Amino acid sequence: MGSIKQDIKETYLGLYETAQEKWGDFAQFLKEAWPVLVILLLVLLGVWWYADPPPPRHVVMATGQPGGSYDVLGKKYAAFFEKKGITLELLPTRGAEENVAHLVDRQDPVQAAFVQAGAFNPQDVTGVLSLGTISYDPIWLFYRGPEIKSNDFQEIKARSHFFLNSKLSVGVKGSGTYAQAMHILKANGFEEGAHFLNLSGSKAAEALQKGEIEAAFIVDAYEAPNVQRLLADPNLHLAAFPRAEAYARLLPYMQILNVPTGAFSLPRNFPSSDIKLMASTTNLLIDDRMHPALQFLFLEAAREINGKASFFSGHGEFPSFKNAGLPESPVALHYEKNGSPLLMTYLPFWLAELVNRLIFVLLPFCALAYPVLLTLPGYRNKRMKRKIDALYMTLKTYERELTENFPPEAKDDYLKKLDLLEYEALQLRVSRTLSSDYYALRASIDYVRNCLNRGMHPYQVREDFSGV
């Protein structure tokens, strides 16, 4: 029995020789089967590129009026995308109606937009999906004159008639502000008045403070500059919605926001009592053809930018996937349940997307390519067997010539032919399974050569040994 050291040495040598043999077989396999491997590689690249193309590096997004909250929000999204290596081009618009029109138009380059819930009819929208809601859009109704008590319905009604007969800004037509103002007025039985003005948020705020108009609807975030300047003006009042629950029933997309006493200004004790406001929500809408990787990127931007705590929303409240009004994207449904893909958490966006696409394509491709790869060793053996058979056929031709019509002066020529045939055989790199055929060929060549070297007609029986 050998020592442990000897056993380890022999085991190591055995493994080393096996590895060398396998590597030699693999290298020979690559040399012989490279055409098939190249074809498989080209198929993989074709499937990878056409079945799952990479996401574009440039995306166009419709926001809103210049200087508005959507414009500011869009710039935050653009900065987020820039960090991920994607250019997000922002397209200013007049509001929700134009944003939806951009998305519905299949020839339009716009692929994403901020749109207020309730500002469009979902039945008229096709080819558009929702990535969820990302913020509240409170409906502010600022007015001048005597303050209306929120619990005095008759006074509210009388004041409403006064507003309808006075200069009242209801927002630019096609904007979310205009849509929400019309919804509220119609819910109360009012129609659009002749004195209604279609002013943008900034112009309405300026006109109200100067006394050029009596009231103004503004649908914008609490942090918006126009809202803040009007909340800070002691000469203006804010209309509350004491019947908020009724509005929420009539307009299901509406959200109720509670404002405690003094929340807007403790020194002024503004509001002087707890009030309720109505709010729409901002939907993040996309073209349904948008690349899934970009959808995940928009959702990550919404989580990072809109998921922070604000005056009306808690931390992590957005993006939300309720009351979107349009079908949710399958990517949004996946994100709601599972979050972003794991790779996007630990890898740069471009690398995570590349690896994800490779996995997506390689798995089904391997299922298809595996049977093909299994046939390659057999293909290699058959190919080598054909080469051996071809050399055998050449040798058989020489042997036939030697037995049928062989001039003695051609002996040297045939010896040279046999040497060349043996050289071709030596160039073969056969697997272990074909070793017997290979050496049988070598032996057959040597046998014919020995016959030629007898010094007489090959295969001729000497007369001395022939029968009488």
CA atoms within 13 A on the CB side of 63: 21
Rounded average pLDDT over 166-185 = 90
Statement: residue 304 has pLDDT above 90: yes
Give the bridge partners for 129, in sequence order: 286
CA distance 351 to 280: 38
Q: Which two tokens stand for residue 136?
A: 């509240």
Q: Identify the pLDDT of residue 466.
A: 47
Cis ω before 271 (30° cut-off from 0): yes
Statement: residue 291 has pLDDT above 50: yes
SS3 92: coil
pLDDT band at 178 (very low <50, low <70, confident <90, very high): very high
* Residue among 183, 184, 179, 177 nearest 202 (CA): 177
Contact 209, 233 (CB under 8 A): yes
Q: Which of the two residues, 404 and 150, has the higher pLDDT score? A: 404
Rounded average pLDDT over 437-459 = 78
Rounded average pLDDT over 50-62 = 83
CA distance 90 to 79: 11
CA distance 32 to 44: 20
Rounded average pLDDT over 415-444 = 83
Contact 275, 264 (CB under 8 A): no
SS3 383: helix
DSSP 311: S
Contact 351, 335 (CB under 8 A): no
CA distance 238 to 388: 97
pLDDT band at 86 (very low <50, low <70, confident <90, very high): very high
Which residues have a Cβ under 8 Å from the Cβ of 215 and sit 6 or more positions away? 141, 142, 143, 144, 163, 166, 167, 168, 169, 208
Burial label for 319, CB within 10 Å (0-12, 13-18, 19+), is buried
What contacts 24+ positions apart, CB below 8 Å, involve 76-83? 76/301, 76/305, 77/298, 77/301, 77/305, 80/300, 80/301, 80/304, 80/305, 81/297, 81/301
Contact 296, 331 (CB under 8 A): yes
Neighbours of 188 (CB within 10 A): 13
Q: Which of the two residues, 64 and 20, has the higher pLDDT score? A: 64
Q: At what angle do helices 292-306 and 330-338 cross, to 10 degrees?
A: 50
CA distance 397 to 400: 5
Q: Which two tokens stand for residue 329?
A: 């994207």
- Amino acid sitting at position 159: R
According to DSSP, the β-strands at 196-197 and 168-169 are parallel
CA distance 147 to 240: 11
Contact 352, 343 (CB under 8 A): yes
* Residue among 406, 414, 393 nearest 458 (CA): 406
- Amino acid sitting at position 278: M
CA atoms within 13 A on the CB side of 163: 27
Where helices occur in 239-284 by DSSP H, the ranges are 244-250
What's the whole-model pTM score?
0.68
pLDDT, tens digit (0-9, with 9 covering 90-100), for 348-394: 766 667 667 667 666 666 666 666 665 666 666 777 888 888 888 98
**Residue carrying the six token digits 């990535």:** 131
